[in-house]
Amino acid sequence: MRIIFTLLIIGLTTYAVIDCVRTEDERRPGVPTWAWVVMILLLQPLVGSLLWLFISRFYAGGQGPDHEYRAPVAPDDDPDFLRYLQERNLRDQRNKDEPNDGPATES
């Protein structure tokens, strides 16, 4: 049982350090990366890891439960894509209606 608990703490600490290092600066709460890593490793690994995980998830700049997630939009529901298609179709129609100013062939 002790071995399992030790492995869980090592895994959690490793995950917390990697997550901290990979997190963008604007999503990292107030303290620089090196300080967070020191806190994770020195504050009894379980406490430091849990502290990082809870604070980083619920930090105002992070993606906590209040963060609005915008799901990807299908192309036929995306107004920008539909506008692009409409403009392209109008441009193609105009190009098709205009006479071709290519080199004239003499017979």
Q: Distance between CA atoms of 7 and 19, rounded to whole angstroms?
A: 18
For 45, 53, 81, the CA distances from 16, given in Å and listed in that order, are 10, 7, 39
Residue 75, number of CB atoms within 10 A of its CB: 11
Residue 14 has pLDDT above 60, yes or no: yes
Of 102 and 64, the structure prediction assigns the larger pLDDT to 102
DSSP state letter for 65 = T
- Burial of 16 per CB tally in 10 Å (0-12, 13-18, 19+): buried
Q: Left (φ > 0), alpha (ψ -120 to 50) or beta: where does 30 sit?
A: left
The domains of the chain are located at 2-58
pLDDT tens per residue, range 62-82: 454 445 556 666 777 788 888
Highest-confidence segment of 20-24, 28-32, 58-62, 95-99: 20-24
- Helices 2-22 and 33-42: crossing angle in degrees, nearest 10, is 170
Q: Report the predicted TM-score, pTM, of the whole model to 2 decimal places.
A: 0.52
pLDDT value of position 37: 87
